[in-house]
């Protein structure tokens, strides 16, 4: 008897999950809640490392079955070709359904006015296409790769974030969310944005990618690239999306992308890190946040992200 | 590496935001551009000094009013551990937010202003932490700089608090004197309190023993989703996807499926292209059973030698979270993990005053943030453990059937 108690104690010491395993299990659990609670879910896929991580987690949640949702990409028309190629390759190799909708089409159909001038971006217009796509397919839940460590408004958002018919987030009407019980009950026309990696940090994502050996688009690693140097930020010339201004200096630098979004609002960082190990070492040493270093659209005001979320943005 | 989720209970007046800011700042978890943003905002507020509290208040109305409205999550890491800070508002009108935040935490920091000692708010926060089953409590006696770093003041607060703690069921209470504003005993040891020989706050957070917080005794597996590929090569494949919320499952274990009571044995435990002999909480896996029985989402698979309670009549502590009152006789949807059933509130046994701990009987309705012991009847039997024994399988929520909003948190008894 004593022996067996000692045995079970020794045993229980080993029964501890590493923090990455805990985060992984939490994310898998959230994805399965989506599958169990909703009729028409979707996984919003941007081609960035966070949504690539989501796809990997979906495999862990549902294989050997198929994903209970399609991958949906809202293409601003300003994406890096490397990211688009990767997206197509990933969906194809997994045998999962990919739906792509274009901001370009929304602009034409709705006669939207494209932002012009300095640092103009289609990032805001994305919201229109996203809401149309949700309506077209009657999606009731959209899984996204947002993390709470990214930004102050995101730090307050629930894992299951209920949006009204206009996609708006109302921070004052958030549902209490207790234990790992998620309430996905909604009225017709509403939808829920679901964030399985809410509790992951940028470093957690990279450590997980390394541990799981997850493939990423090449632009996440150091490469030589032609860029415009503007206000200390390196903007890609690829695709001719960003118009050169008089003060811009045309340079070729060894760079990598820390986030991969729309070309018009994602800056490159100078780097020689060409392996996962060296990328992680660089992030551990960095003194600037992911969004602060590379996002051009958050820097408009203190509440920029909060305002965009209220408008239906992810 | 370990993961510790802890909640900070207190209000801006107690220096809560300053404490979090200090923890992040001194552990070098604040990045240069985030600090610059705070410096800019500090200048707008026209007082020169960097206001560490601005690091944590995320919503515009919170910044405008200088208060915390909703729960915010912060992340930092030291070589010893990874931390999730659940930053919850302290005022009584946000009790429901604190309950939300506390539900997942292993540790609570209860902030006490050294000048005021144990006050109403301390009692409320300690009760909520205890009610939500948080095993470790740190009483952070802050603003020691304003009482001349007096050991007597600190000792008196410890005595006051120990009296209060007797009425609660915290497993472990630790007291730390500090000044968040000046950084004494937050990350670095204080130069002003040589009489204190205990750990700094960060020190304690890095070393507090967490091994016994997970229940590894009662094996529970709520079924979330049934995986049936129905492809030619996997024609008969049928796997139950879910997360082990407590306990350990091993291949060959005798199991019971609830509420039906049918029995089978664990044939295999699968985890992404891998078959395991055993799996434990909180792992997400796929279970395969030897017999073909009817199992769907909402069922609970348990080891047959440790059965939970299965009943339609339940009692619970309830925190009411809606502006619309709860009345005896009202019907709601109860959600317990993946299980849902309609239920009716049959009685309010007593209402609990969160500040004085007094119990009032004969209450007919509950208002926002009220806490009470209630009696419920569910339409289908619910399979649960008492909350004090099993936090995950003992907690449930109430959902309003017209608004679909989560209106109540239940700690089952």
Q: Summarize pLDDT for A243-294 with one digit per residue, the tens.
A: 888 888 889 999 998 877 777 778 888 999 999 999 988 887 776 666 566 6
Tens-digit pLDDT profile for residues B51-110: 666 666 555 666 666 556 678 888 888 889 999 999 888 788 888 889 999 999 999 999
Report the pLDDT value the prediction gives residue A10, as an integer from 0 to 100: 47
| CATH number 1.10.1060.10 given to B220-303 | no
Residue B310 CB contacts under 8 Å (≥ 6 apart), including other chains: B258, B259, B261, B381, B382, B383
Q: Are B60 and B69 in contact (CB under 8 A)?
A: no
**Cβ–Cβ below 8 Å for A179 and B391:** yes
Instruction: Quote the pLDDT of residue A311.
Output: 64
Does A22 contact B297 at a Cβ distance shorter than 8 Å?
A: no
What is the structure's pLDDT at A2?
47
Residue B392: its chain A contacts at CB < 8 A? 179-180
- Chain A to chain B Cβ contacts (< 8 Å): 170
Percent of chain B with pLDDT over 70: 91
Peptide bond into A64 cis (omega under 30): yes
**Which of 113-142 (A) contact B at CB < 8 A?**
none
For residue A264, which phi and psi values (nearest 5 degrees)?
Answer: -70, -15
Considering the domain delimited by B309-412, tell me its CATH architecture: Beta Barrel (2.40)
Nearest to B243 among A29, A148, A149 (CB): A29
| A4–B contact, CB cutoff 8 A | no
Whether the domain at B2-212 and the domain at B309-412 fall into the same CATH topology: no
Q: Which pLDDT score is estimated for A296? A: 53
Q: Shortest CB distance from A28 goes to which of B214, B284, B399?
A: B284
Which candidate from B61, B73, B273 shows the least CB-CB separation from A155? B73
List, as one string, the DSSP characters of chain A.
-HHHHHHHHHHHHH----HHHHHHHHHHHHHHHHHHH-SSEEEE--SSHHHHHHHHHHHHHHTTSPPSS-EEEEE-S---HHHHHHHHHHHHHHT--EEEEEHHHHHHHHTPPPP-STT--STTTHHHHHHHHHHHHT-SEEE----GGG-TTGGG--SEEEE-TT----GGGPPP--TT-------TT-EEEE-TTTT--HHHHHHHHHHHT----GGGS-EEEEEEEETTEEEE-GGG-SPP-TT-EEEEEEEEESS---GGGB-EEE----SHHHHHHHHHH--S-HHHHHBSGGGS-TTHHHHHHHTT--
Q: Is A246 touching B (CB cutoff 8 A)?
A: no
Domain residue ranges in chain B? 2-212, 220-303, 309-412
- Interior angle at CA A83, CA A79 and CA A86, nearest 5: 145
Portion of chain A with pLDDT greater than 90, in percent: 49
Contacts of B77 in chain A (CB under 8 A): 201, 203
All residues of chain A having their beta carbon less than 8 Å from the beta carbon of residue B239 are 65
Q: Which residues of chain B have pLDDT under 50?
A: 46
For residue A309, the distance in angstroms to the closest alpha carbon of chain B comes to: 12
Cβ <8 Å between B229 and A66: yes
Pick the CATH number of B2-212 from 3.40.50.300, 3.90.550.10, 3.40.50.150, 1.10.10.10: 3.40.50.300
What average pLDDT does this structure show over A178-196? 94
Whether the per-residue pLDDT at A171 is higher than 80: the answer is: no
Give the A window 156-175 contacts with B, CB below 8 Å. 156, 171-172, 174-175
A13 CB near a chain B CB, below 8 Å? yes
What beta strand segments (E) does B196-271 contain? 220-227, 239-243, 248-250, 254-258, 262-270
Q: Say yes or no to pLDDT of A301 above 70.
A: no
Per residue in A189-223, pLDDT tens? 899 999 999 999 988 999 999 999 999 999 999 99
**In this predicted structure, what is the pLDDT of residue B235?**
87
Domains of chain A, each with CATH number or no CATH: 17-203+305-310 (3.40.50.620), 217-299 (no CATH)
Q: B405 in the Ramachandran plot: left (φ > 0), alpha (ψ -120 to 50) or beta?
A: beta
Q: Which residue has the higher pLDDT, A34 or B20?
A: A34
Once rounded to an integer, what is the mean pLDDT over residues A97-108?
90
- Whether chain B has a CB inside 8 Å of the CB on A5: the answer is no
């Amino acid at each position: 008897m004593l022996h067996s108690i000692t045995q079970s104690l020794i045993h229980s010491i080993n029964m501890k999950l590493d923090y990455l395993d805990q985060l992984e299990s939490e994310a898998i659990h959230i994805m399965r809640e989506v599958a169990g609670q909703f009729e028409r879910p979707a996984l919003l896929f941007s081609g960035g490392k966070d949504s690539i991580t989501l796809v990997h987690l979906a495999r862990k949640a549902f294989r050997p079955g198929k994903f209970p949702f399609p991958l949906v990409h809202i293409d601003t028309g300003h994406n890096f070709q490397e990211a688009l190629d990767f997206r197509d390759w990933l969906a194809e190799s997994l045998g999962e359904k990919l739906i792509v909708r274009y901001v370009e089409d929304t602009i034409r159909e709705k006669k939207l006015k494209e932002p012009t001038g300095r640092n103009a971006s289609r990032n805001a217009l994305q919201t229109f296409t996203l809401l149309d796509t949700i309506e077209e397919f009657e999606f009731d839940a959209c899984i996204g790769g947002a993390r709470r460590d990214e930004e102050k408004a995101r730090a307050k958002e629930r894992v299951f974030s209920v949006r009204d018919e206009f996609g708006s987030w109302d921070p004052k009407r958030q549902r209490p969310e207790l234990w790992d019980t998620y309430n996905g009950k909604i009225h017709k026309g509403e939808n829920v944005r679901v964030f399985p990696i809410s509790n992951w940090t940028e470093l957690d994502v990279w450590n997980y990618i390394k541990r799981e050996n997850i493939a990423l688009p090449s632009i996440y690693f150091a490469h030589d690239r032609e860029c415009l140097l503007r206000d200390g930020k390196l903007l890609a010339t690829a695709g001719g999306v960003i118009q050169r201004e008089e003060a811009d200096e045309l340079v070729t630098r060894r760079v990598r992308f820390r986030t991969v979004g729309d070309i018009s609002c994602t800056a490159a960082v100078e780097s020689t890190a060409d392996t996962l190990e060296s990328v992680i070492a660089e992030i551990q040493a960095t003194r600037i946040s992911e969004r602060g270093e590379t996002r051009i659209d958050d820097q408009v005001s203190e509440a920029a992200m909060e305002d965009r979320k209220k408008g239906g943005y992810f | 590496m370990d993961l510790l989720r802890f909640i900070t209970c207190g209000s801006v007046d107690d220096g809560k935001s300053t404490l979090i800011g200090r923890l992040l700042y001194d552990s070098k978890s604040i990045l240069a551009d985030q600090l610059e943003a705070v410096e800019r905002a500090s200048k707008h507020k026209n007082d020169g000094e960097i206001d560490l509290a601005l690091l944590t208040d995320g919503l515009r109305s919170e910044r405008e009013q200088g208060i915390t409205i909703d729960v915010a999550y912060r992340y930092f890491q030291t070589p010893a551990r990874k931390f999730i800070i659940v930053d919850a508002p302290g005022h009584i009108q946000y009790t429901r937010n604190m309950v939300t935040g506390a539900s997942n935490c292993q540790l609570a920091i209860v902030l006490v202003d050294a000048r005021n000692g144990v006050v109403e708010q301390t009692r409320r926060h300690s009760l909520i932490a205890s009610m939500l089953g948080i095993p470790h409590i740190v009483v952070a006696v802050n603003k020691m700089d304003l009482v001349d770093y007096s050991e007597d003041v600190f000792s008196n607060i410890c005595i006051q608090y120990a009296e209060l703690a007797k009425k609660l069921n915290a497993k472990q209470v630790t007291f730390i004197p500090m000044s968040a504003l000046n950084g004494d005993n937050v990350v670095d040891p204080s130069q002003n309190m040589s009489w204190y020989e205990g750990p700094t706050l960060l020190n304690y957070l890095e070393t507090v023993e967490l091994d016994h917080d997970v229940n590894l005794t009662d094996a529970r597996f709520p079924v979330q989703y049934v995986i049936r590929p129905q492809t030619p090569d996997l024609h008969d494949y049928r796997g139950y996807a879910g997360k082990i919320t407590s306990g350990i499952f091993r291949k060959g274990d005798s199991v019971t499926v609830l509420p039906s009571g049918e029995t089978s044995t664990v044939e295999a435990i699968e985890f992404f292209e891998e078959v395991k002999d055993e799996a434990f909480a909180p792992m997400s896996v796929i279970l395969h059973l030897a017999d073909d029985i009817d199992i769907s989402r909402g069922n609970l698979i348990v080891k047959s030698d440790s059965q939970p309670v299965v009943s339609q009549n339940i009692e619970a502590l309830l925190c009411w979270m809606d502006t619309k009152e709860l009345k005896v006789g009202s019907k709601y949807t109860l959600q317990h993990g993946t299980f849902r059933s309609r239920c009716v509130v049959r009685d309010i046994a007593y209402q609990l005053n969160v500040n004085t701990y007094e119990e009032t009987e004969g209450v007919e309705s509950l208002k926002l943030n009220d806490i009470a012991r209630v009696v419920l009847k569910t339409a289908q039997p619910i399979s649960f453990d008492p909350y004090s024994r099993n936090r995950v399988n003992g907690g449930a929520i109430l959902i309003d059937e017209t608004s679909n909003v989560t209106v109540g948190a239940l700690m089952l008894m």
